[in-house]
Amino acid sequence: MAPTGKNTAIIKQLAAELGFHYCGIARAEPLDEDARRLEAWLQQGMHGSMDYMERHFELRIDPRKLVPGARSVITLLQNYYPGTTQRADTPKISKYAFGKDYHEVIRSKLNQLLSQLNASIGEIHGRGFVDSAPVLERSWALKTGAGWIGKNGNLITAQGGSFFFIATLIVDIELVYDSPFAKDFCGTCRKCIDACPTGAILDNKVVNGSRCISYFTIELKDALIPDEMKDRFDNWMFGCDTCQDVCPWNRFSRPHMEPHFSAIPEILNLSTREWEQLSEERFRSIFKDSPLRRSKYKGIRRNLSFISTAGTSVTGS
């Protein structure tokens, strides 16, 4: 086997041993078509107050500028679909936030993978990214054959649906490249479009991020949620999974096997009233390693107040 083939096999084997559901590889090159789409999306203001999406544009569309000497882009998928569900009277929290913050969990795995590759293959320079840097991870997932982009903007895999974290490892060695995923199996289905509580999903695979419940409950910092969204949140307190929950492809989802993603008991069981009575000290203790830290105590109380039937019964702190 040629060195590129041998190295590729080593990468995929080590990725599987670390618990990644999928590993695909593409050549590091500019994403010209994606750049045009991103630019149009930004110009229409669909990113709302997420100004960070406007920064480092050139780095987002060319991995060689993000990682000097880059030759290959490795896409890795990590299943996070939970085997447990929330109580019916509990404010809804997106499934990705049930357990420990995925940034920390997956970043550790990426570091392990890069270290093991250096030991197995030789000196490799590279950087790993997981939803915290200017990387168009869904575009790379498509180019590496992982799946297709659904009408809700999520990567969908034919074997396991869409409840996956996407990680990207950019390295400076030539490898054997996978073929892009060429088909779109959404067809005429409109379930995600029709089910979106705020009408954020448009009928051309574009999501207006500034109308998404996840944007309002997580990204909208230190600001009031617009009154026009009243009664549209369907009891979502942190994030939103509606477009994924209704997707027919997620009937293939299977519970993850990652212990760090095991649900925090309070997320599954705290009633609305118990959330209202939760002190800041206890919130910080329970959710110290949770994605809920992004909204902070003040943000969670704002969100809870917005969705609560008690209306103004909860005040910010």
Question: Active site includes 203?
Answer: no
Q: Closest by alpha carbon to 171, among 30, 102, 75?
A: 75
Cα of first residue to Cα of last residue in the chain, in angstroms, is 62
pLDDT of the residue at 170: 95
Domain ranges of the chain: 1-309
Query: Do the beta carbons of residue 146 and residue 87 sit within 8 Å?
Result: no
Q: What is the DSSP secondary-structure string of the chain?
A: --HHHHHHHHHHHHHHHTT-SEEEEEE----HHHHHHHHHHHHTTTTTT-GGGGTTHHHHH-HHHHSTT--EEEEEEEE---S----TTSPEE-GGGSSS-HHHHHHHHHHHHHHHHHHHT----EEEESSSSS--HHHHHHHTTS-EE-TTS-EEBTTTBT-EEEEEEEESS--PPPPPP---TTTT--HHHHH-TT--B-TTS-B-GGG-HHIIIII-TTSPPPGGGTT-STTEEE---HHHHT-GGGGG------GGGSPPHHHHH--HHHHHT--HHHHHHHTTTSGGGGTHHHHHHHHHHHH-TTSTT----
Looking up tokens 């203001």 gives 45
How confident is the model at residue 134, as a pLDDT? 67
Closest CA to 136 of 144, 244, 296: 144
Catalytic site residue from 34, 51, 101, 131: 131
pLDDT of 222: 74
Rounded Cα distance, 21 and 254, in Å = 11
Per-residue model confidence as pLDDT tens for the chain (317 residues): 568 999 999 999 999 999 999 999 999 999 877 777 777 766 777 767 666 665 666 777 789 988 899 999 999 999 999 999 999 999 999 999 999 999 999 999 999 999 999 999 999 999 999 987 668 899 999 999 999 999 999 999 999 999 999 999 999 999 999 999 989 999 999 999 999 999 999 987 889 999 999 999 999 987 899 999 999 999 999 999 999 999 999 999 999 999 999 999 999 999 999 999 999 999 999 999 999 999 999 999 999 999 984 343 343 33
Are the beta carbons of 268 and 97 closer than 8 angstroms? no
Q: Exposed, middle or buried, 70 (CB in 10 Å: 0-12/13-18/19+)? A: buried
pLDDT of residue 112: 97
Q: How far apart are CA 67 and CA 56, in angstroms?
A: 13
CA 211, CA 205: separation in Å to the nearest integer?
15
78/128 Cα distance (integer angstroms): 14
CA distance 211 to 132: 21
Model pLDDT, residue 309: 47
Q: Give Cα 177 distance to the centre of its chain.
A: 24
